[in-house]
Amino acid sequence: MLNVDLHCHSNVSDGALRPAEVAARARANGVDVWALTDHDEIDGIREARETARALGMRHVTGVEISVTWAAQTIHIVGLQFDESNRDLQQGLINTRSGRERRAHEMAAQLAEAGIPDAFEGALKHVGNPDLISRTHFARYIVELGVCKDISEVFRNFLVEGRPGFVPHRWATLKDAVSWIRGAGGIAVVAHPGRYGFDDVALDAFLAEFKRYGGVGIEVVTGSHTVDEYARFAVVARNYGLLASRGSDFHAPGESHTELGALPPLPPSVVPVWHDWRM
Ligand code: AMP
Ligand code: MN
Ligand code: MN
Ligand code: MN
């Protein structure tokens, strides 16, 4: 069976490794088909593709777009698009554009909470100045010894109701799906178990996602429990969505899961790669 990993990050967004290092790590872990899906960025794709090819691994273009839907942040993974598409490129530039100002506001809040110089501290972990993310702040807070790991940071800081949380307006669901489709790609809901949707909210969201032309949903991801693999396999079947698998790997020793190490998709679903030539 093919080992497919269609969700992970490099230091072009909030991962810790260069795209080539992520590719090599995926290959070493036995991945056959691989997509780098940096947040709101496709700058790592060229290096990812070249390295994957050199290592004999099938490469798929990828991105993870930040979306605001019903006042909530949702992530949409795009796969198999043409990265030279201008509308997609411009859409991603616009989506990234508020991050630096947001980061300054986050740092101001953290300073009031007794964590000084967080903007500069986070920046030391940033590989791409256009993409300062909460993860970079989290790494700095761990480095200071204020929290023991990233999970502890995201329980005490950077989330709603805690210091360092700055609400942000990302792309619309319609735009994100349209950019991906317009570039010839397919849109996939990232880690649906992370949004706290009950069945009613999930139904409203998926109806709209499908209306815009979304076709896939992650079932096996590093963000899901084993129970959620089963829940979202049923959802994929009931909604006629293709199922995806991805580790959401960010950094060695930091992520929940390692590249290529998750269980396979349940046999009841149709994989997003079912009709890919490989
Ligand atoms: P941002 O796009 O700046 O809002 O940052 C979002 C990123 O923060 C996600 O892509 C994750 O990498 C990270 N993140 C959010 N919540 C958690 C969490 N509970 N544990 C670990 N990482 C998290
Ligand atoms: Mn991330
Ligand atoms: Mn995500
Ligand atoms: Mn991700």
Q: Which ligand is nearest to the CA of 256?
A: 1
pLDDT at position 191 is 98
* Cα(122)–Cα(131) distance, integer angstroms: 11
DSSP state of 173: H
At 192-241, the pLDDT tens digits run: 999 999 999 999 999 999 999 999 999 999 999 999 999 999 999 999 99
Q: Check pLDDT > 90 for residue 149.
A: yes
Tokens of 121: 């501290």
Question: How confident is the model at residue 255, as a pLDDT?
Answer: 74
- pLDDT computed for residue 277 by the predictor: 85
Can you give the pLDDT at residue 158? 98
CB count in 10 Å sphere of residue 167:
10
Ligand in nearest proximity to the CA of 154: 1
pLDDT given for residue 221 in this prediction: 98
Whether the CB-CB separation of 262 and 247 falls below 8 Å is answered with: yes
Cα 267 to ligand 2 centre (Å): 28
No. of helices (H) and no. of strands (E), the chain: 10, 8
Does residue 50 surpass a pLDDT of 90?
yes
**Dist. CA 114–CA 145, nearest whole Å:** 13
Report pLDDT for 183: 98
Are 22 and 52 spatial neighbours (Cβ–Cβ below 8 Å)? no
Residues counted in the chain:
278
Ligand 1 environment, Cβ below 6 A: 14, 39, 66, 133-135, 150-151, 154, 250
Half-sphere exposure of 156 (CA within 13 A, CB side): 14
Q: Which of 135, 151, 256 to mutate to test the pocket of ligand 1 (most atoms within 8 A of CB)?
A: 135
pTM to 2 decimals? 0.98
Q: Quickly state the pLDDT bin for 256 (edges 50, 70, 90).
A: confident
Contact present, 202 and 70 (Cβ < 8 Å)? no
* pLDDT value of position 242: 99
Q: What pLDDT sits at residue 278?
A: 80
d(CA 194, CA 205): 14
Taking the centre of ligand 2 as the mean of its atom positions, its distance from the CA of residue 200, in whole angstroms, is 27
Position 156 pLDDT exceeds 80: yes
Buried b / exposed e over 210-231, threshold 16 CB at 10 Å, is eebebbbbbbbbbbbeeebbeb
Atom 13 in ligand 1: which residue has the minimum CA distance? 135
DSSP 4: E
Give residue 64 CA to ligand 3 midpoint distance, Å. 7
| Continuous H helices in the chain | 19-28, 45-54, 86-96, 99-112, 118-123, 134-143, 150-156, 173-182, 199-211, 226-238
Tens of pLDDT, residues 4-47: 999 999 999 999 999 999 999 999 999 999 999 999 999 999 99
